[in-house]
Chain A
C-alpha cells in the first residue's frame, strides 16, 4: 500500500518553463488537494477536488492548473514558472463522502526551485 505518491521530489526550473507535479493515491480517496508550504506562511491550499471530473480553486490558485480525470491521479501543472512559485508542494488525500474520519494523508513533498 503506497499511500500518496508524489513525483518528482526535487526540480529546478527556469523562469517561464512549464512542468507537472504528479500525485497518485491508491486508497480510493474522493478528496485530493495540493498545498504549498512556505516559511512563515504555513500550508496554503492551491487546488482541490472531491472526485473525478470535479476541481475547485483554493486560497492561492493563480499560476497553477489541475485536472482530475481518474480517482487516483491529481496532477498539478505550472504553465509558466515564476520565482514566486519556489516552494515545497504537498499533495494530500482523504475520504470525503461518508465513512471517513477526515484524516488527510500526505505525500512526501516536492521541492521546486524556479530560477
Chain B
C-alpha cells in the first residue's frame, strides 16, 4: 500500500543547529515527492518538490530511491523555521492523488 511515514512528531533544535526531518515512502511506481509547511496562522504551502531540486529558505531534500526516503535538511536552523512540516506523495499512475505523512512539528529554540 502507498504510505508516507514521518517518524518524528516533534523535533526541537537550537538556533544555528542542523535540522533533518525524516520522510520515508512506500510506493511501487515512480514517486513525486513534496514538502509542505504550515506556519502558525498561515495556510499550508509548498516548500519544495523533488523534481525541481531547488533550495527554498535554505532547505533541501534529496530523493533516495534505494532507501525510499526524502528527508528535509537545513544546515543552520532559524527561529522562523518553527512550523509544522508535511511530506507528501503524489500518485499520477492510473489516478491523480496526493497523500500526506503525519507531520513533524519543528521547534527552533533561541
Q: Which residues of A contact B (CB under 8 A)?
A: 30-31, 33, 35, 40-45, 48, 50, 56, 58-59, 90, 92, 94, 96-97, 101-104, 106-109
Contacts and interface: CB of A to CB of B under 8 A. Distances in A.
A56 B95 contact: yes
A44 B98 CA distance: 10
A107 B43 CA distance: 7
Contacts of B34: 102-104
Contact of A45 (B6, B36, B51, B98): B98
A108 B43 contact: yes
Nearest to A104: B98
8 contacts: A31-B96, A33-B98, A42-B100, A42-B103, A43-B44, A50-B96, A92-B44, A102-B90
A101 B100 CA distance: 17
B46 A42 contact: no
Nearest to B9: A40
B56 to A, nearest CB: 12
B102 A104 contact: no
Contacts of A40: 9, 102
A89 to B, nearest CB: 12
Given A40-B9, A42-B86, A56-B95, A103 B100 contact: no
Contacts of A107: 43
Interface in B26-85: 32, 34, 36, 43-46, 49, 51-52
